[in-house]
Each structure stands twice: as C-alpha cells, then as structure tokens.
Amino acid sequence: MSNPTSSQSKNASPWVRIPDGTRVKHRHEGQEGVIDGLTEFVTGPDRNPDGKTQYRMNIGTPTRQLVTENDLCILLGVDNLVIMVRQKEPYRRCVTEQLRGWFAADRFMKSVKSQ
C-alpha cells in the first residue's frame, strides 16, 4: 500500500521558500528589508519558482515591495547565519543550512548593518 503524501511530495516543485522574518537585500535596487509573506496578486511577469507568487519585502513601515526570489540576496550576520526577526540561533542555523542547500553562494552576503 502506497503512502499518498510521499507521492504527492515527489510531484511537488522542489522550491524552498525564504521564511518570513528573513533579512534580505534587493540585488539590483539595493534596498534592505525583511520577508513579510507571499502574495498571489503579482505585478509584472516575474514569479517565484512556484509560478504564482512574489515575496512581500518590508522595507520600512508601511512600505512593502513585491519582489521575486531571483531579485534577492539573503543577509548573514557576524556569525554567518541568516539574520531573522525574533529567532534564536538554533533555528537560524537550521534555516541557513536549508537555504544554502537551495541557493548559490553568491546569493548570500554579509550585512553591513548591525543585527
């Protein structure tokens, strides 16, 4: 007897979502902000690898910018772990390992701002 959950996950896209609260920098425009969820009400032709969403990047209350994964670099702290809002080191370490398995090394950069 097969397990339908495992067969569904094999058919699903291998996309790894950047978690909410992760500090990022726009690769082309230079703004820094925090991932604040996903939206399916996308603007323009660009989408995340799931084909239907864009990230909401909080660049300052109340400003949000819609961006795709390809437009983002993930910011690292002095400990070489992703910078995340209100998250402790063990969780940030886990997220860092997961994201490093998905993104190329050039998609990570040290933050010049203090954590």
Instruction: Please tell me the number of Cα atoms within 13 Å of 28 on its side-chain side.
Output: 5
Look at residue 5 in the predicted model and tell me its pLDDT.
Answer: 41
Q: How far is CA 54 from the centre of its chain?
A: 10
Place of tokens 């400990």: 79
Alpha-carbon gap, residue 29 to 102, rounded angstroms = 23
- Average pLDDT value for the chain: 87
Residue 8 pLDDT > 90, yes or no? Answer: no
Q: Which tokens sit at 56?
A: 């909401």
| pLDDT exceeds cutoff 80 at 98 | yes
Q: Per-residue confidence at 9, pLDDT binned at 50, 70, 90?
A: very low
- Report pLDDT for 115: 54
In the structure encoding, which two tokens stand for residue 111, read together?
């933050």
Domains annotated on the chain, with CATH: 18-110 (2.30.30)
- The continuous run of DSSP H or E covering 37 comes out as strand 32-39
pLDDT at 25: 97
Question: Which two three-digit tokens encode residue 7?
Answer: 């067969």
55-91 per-position pLDDT tens digit:
999 998 788 899 999 999 999 999 999 999 999 999 9
